[in-house]
Structure 1
Amino acid sequence: MWNFKTPGIPDEEFERAEKVPITKEEVRVVQISKARLKPGQIVYDIGCGSGSISVEAALQIEPSGKVLAIDYDKNAIELTKKNMIKFDLSNISVIHGNAKEKILDLEKADTIFIGGTGGDTKEIVELSENKLKSGGRIVIGIILIETLYSVLQVLEKLQFESVDITQITISKSRKTSKGTMMLARNPVTIISATKI
C-alpha cells in the first residue's frame, strides 16, 4: 500500500474514527526520525490511537522487527487493527488495556513512543525507563505545557541523555471559494532522548 521507504503516509490514507486521535502526518514524520529506527527493533507505541505511528514504525523496522501498540480505548484498538490490515503489516501486536499495567509484562524495547496517555505521561515515562534497552530511544508527543514540564523533570531525574525538544507548528492549505488559505494546527512538542 505504501511503496516508499520514507515516512509520511498522508493522513487520508489511514482508516479514521471521529473520537480516535491520529498523529498528523508532519508530526509523525518528525517523531519517526527522532526515534532513529532500524530493521529488527522492538518498538512500543503507547497510546496508539489510530495506529499511524505503529504503521510508520512497522514499515521502518521491517518484518524482522515488532511494534507493540497499546491503548485503553477499544475504538483505538479496533482502528489500529484496521490500519494494520490495510497496510498489510504482520509485525504489529495490538494490546488493549492500561499501559501502566501492560508494559510491565512486555519484552524490552529499542524505542518507545508515548502519545495520548490520558494524563499520566509522567508515570508512563518512569515505567518506560525500566523497559528500554540501554541506548534505546524514547519519543514523546506533547500538547500541554504542564505535561512538557513534568516529562522534562522525569527525564532529568532518570538521567536520560541527548534530550531534544522540538516544537512543531504546522499550517495546511485549504481551498476556499476565492482561493487557497493556510489553516494552523495546534503546536506539538516532541521530546526525544536516549537511555544511558
Structure 2
Amino acid sequence: MWDYKTPGIPDEEFERTEKVPITKEEVRTVQISKARLKSGQTVYDIGCGSGSISVEAALQIESSGKIIAIDYDQNAVDLTKKNLEKFELSNVSVILGNAKEKILELEEADAIFVGGTGGDTKEIVELSEKKLKIGGRIVIGIILIETLYSVLQVMDTLQFKDVDITQVTISKSRKTTTGTMMLARNPVTIISATKA
C-alpha cells in the first residue's frame, strides 16, 4: 500500500470519519522523526485516534517491532483497525480503554507517542515515564496552552533529558477560481525527550 520508507503518508490515504481526529501529515512526520524509531522496537501510541501515527510508526519499526495503540473511544479503535488493515500491517495491537488504567499493564516501551488524551496528558506522561526504557523517547503532541504548561511542569520533575519543544504551523495550498491560496492550520506544539 505504501512503498516508501520515509514518513509522510498523505492524509487522504487514510480512512477518515468526522468524529475521530487525525494527526495531520506534516505534524505526524515531525513527530515520527522526533521519536528516532528503528526496527524491532516496542512503541505505544496513546490516544491513537485514526491510527495515522500507529501506521507510520509500524512501517518504521518493521515487522520485528510492535506498536500498542490505545484509545478510549470505540470509533477511534475501529478506525485505527480499518487503517491497519488498509496498510496491511500486522505488528500493531489496538486496545480500547483508558490509557491511565492500561499503561501499567503493558510491557516496557522504546518510544511513546502521546496524542489525544481527553485532558489527562499530565497523568499519562507520568505513567509513561514509568514504562519507558532508559534511553527511550517520548513525543507529545499538544494543541492547548494549558496542556503545554502542565506537561512542561511534569517534565521538569521526571527523569527526562534533552527536552525539545517545537511548534509546527502548517499552511496548505488550495485552488480557488482565481488562483491558489494558502490556508493555515492550527499550530501544534511537539515536546520530545529522552528518559535519562
Fold conserved (TM > 0.5)? yes
Equivalent residue number for residue 9 of structure 2: 9
Equivalent residue number for residue 64 of structure 2: 64
Q: Determine helix, strand or coil for the equivalent of 1:119.
A: coil
Q: How many residues are matched?
A: 196
Q: Offset at 1:159?
A: 2.8
CA distance in 2, matches of 1:191, 1:131: 18
Q: Kindly provide the amino acid, as one letter, of the partner of residue 33 in structure 2.
A: S
Deviations 1:126-175 (A, max 9, x none): 00010000000000000011111110111110031000000000000011
Residue 110 (str. 1) matches residue 110 (str. 2) = yes
Residue 99 (str. 1) matches residue 99 (str. 2) = yes
Equivalent residue number for residue 75 of structure 2: 75
Equivalent residue number for residue 48 of structure 2: 48
Q: Kindly provide the amino acid, as one letter, of the partner of residue 25 in structure 1.
A: E
Q: Kindly provide the amino acid, as one letter, of the partner of residue 151 in structure 1.
A: V
CA distance in 1, matches of 2:108, 2:195: 12
Deviations 1:87-139 (A, max 9, x none): 00000000000000011100000000000000010000000010000000000
Q: Determine helix, strand or coil for the equivalent of 1:59.
A: helix
TM-score if structure 2 supplies the norm length?
0.99
Q: Determine helix, strand or coil for the equivalent of 1:39.
A: coil
Equivalent residue number for residue 171 of structure 1: 171
CA distance in 2, matches of 1:50, 1:66: 18
CA distance in 2, matches of 1:135, 1:48: 23
Q: Determine helix, strand or coil for the equivalent of 1:55.
A: helix
Counterparts of 1:15-54 in structure 2 under 5 Å?
A: 15-54=15-54
Identity over aligned residues, as a percent?
Answer: 84
Equivalent residue number for residue 191 of structure 2: 191
Q: Determine helix, strand or coil for the equivalent of 1:116.
A: coil
Q: Kindly provide the amino acid, as one letter, of the partner of residue 124 in structure 1.
A: I
CA distance in 2, matches of 1:176, 1:88: 36
Q: Which runs of 4+ in 1 moved over 4 A?
A: none
Q: Determine helix, strand or coil for the equivalent of 2:75.
A: helix
Measured on the aligned residues, the alpha-carbon RMSD in Å equals 0.4
CA distance in 1, matches of 2:151, 2:137: 15
CA distance in 1, matches of 2:82, 2:6: 22
Q: Where does structure 2 lack aligned partners over 5 or more consecutive residues?
A: none
Equivalent residue number for residue 180 of structure 2: 180
Equivalent residue number for residue 148 of structure 1: 148
TM-score if structure 1 supplies the norm length?
0.99
Counterparts of 1:125-164 in structure 2 under 5 Å?
A: 125-164=125-164
Q: Kindly provide the amino acid, as one letter, of the partner of residue 21 in structure 1.
A: P
CA distance in 2, matches of 1:90, 1:189: 30
CA distance in 1, matches of 2:159, 2:28: 26
